[in-house]
Amino acid sequence: MRKPEVDFYVEIATQSNDFFNKLINNLFTTNKILVFNSAWIIGYVGIIKPNWFLSRLGDIYHNLKPNTDDSVYRNISRVLMRIEISDKYQGIVTKNSIDWLSDNKMPIAVRAFCIHIISKIIDKQPYLCNEIRDIIESIIPNSSPGLLNAVHKLLKKINKMNY
């Protein structure tokens, strides 16, 4: 699928909750191309329709399996990085962001997006800073230069928050 086709489907999905839900369900099929394309579209629709995305977040997290395509993780975390996460979802988002960040097998982009998600969450829940600092410091030895840059920015933010 090319970007103009993605834009076409994004337009349809933002006008139809049923179509959006079909895209979410596609994330957990065995057809890799369908999974990849659906994740790509959801990566845009989730930003435009955050309430729709958040309403399915529990289902998304529940259905993730070890063999789930990386594009699903990447687009979920990209959406979460860019939208306001309501209090109702902060617990599950925090847990999964920490899990994905700590997983050395997770793609670098997903781990970097998780750092940004966590950075937003500690603004509302600063008491998590000490735990987050320990996790962040534990991933430093295995971090790529790009991930290391994001890690240092988050550590600097935590230090400014006096935690």
b (16+ CB within 10 A) / e for 56-81: bbeebeeeeeeebbebbbbbbbbbbb
Rounded CA-CA distance 42/23 in Å is 7
Number of structural domains in the chain: 2
On whether both 99 and 59 belong to a single domain, the answer is no
Select from 83, 104, 133 the last residue of a domain. 83
Q: What's the pLDDT at 142?
A: 83
Select from 83, 115, 148 the last residue of a domain. 83
Question: What is the tally of helices (H) and strands (E) in the chain?
Answer: 10, 0
Rounded CA-CA distance 140/123 in Å is 22
On whether both 158 and 97 belong to a single domain, the answer is yes
pTM of the shown model? 0.91
Question: How confident is the prediction along the chain (163 residues), in pLDDT tens digits per residue?
Answer: 999 999 999 999 999 999 999 999 999 999 999 999 999 999 999 999 999 999 999 999 999 998 899 999 999 999 999 999 999 999 999 999 999 999 999 999 999 999 999 999 999 999 999 999 999 999 999 889 989 999 999 999 999 998 7
Give the position of tokens 């950075």: 119
Q: How far is CA 117 from CA 28, 95, 100, in A?
A: 23, 11, 11
On whether both 78 and 125 belong to a single domain, the answer is no
Select from 49, 65, 83 the last residue of a domain. 83
On whether both 97 and 79 belong to a single domain, the answer is no
Task: Find the domain containing 163 and state its range.
Answer: 87-163
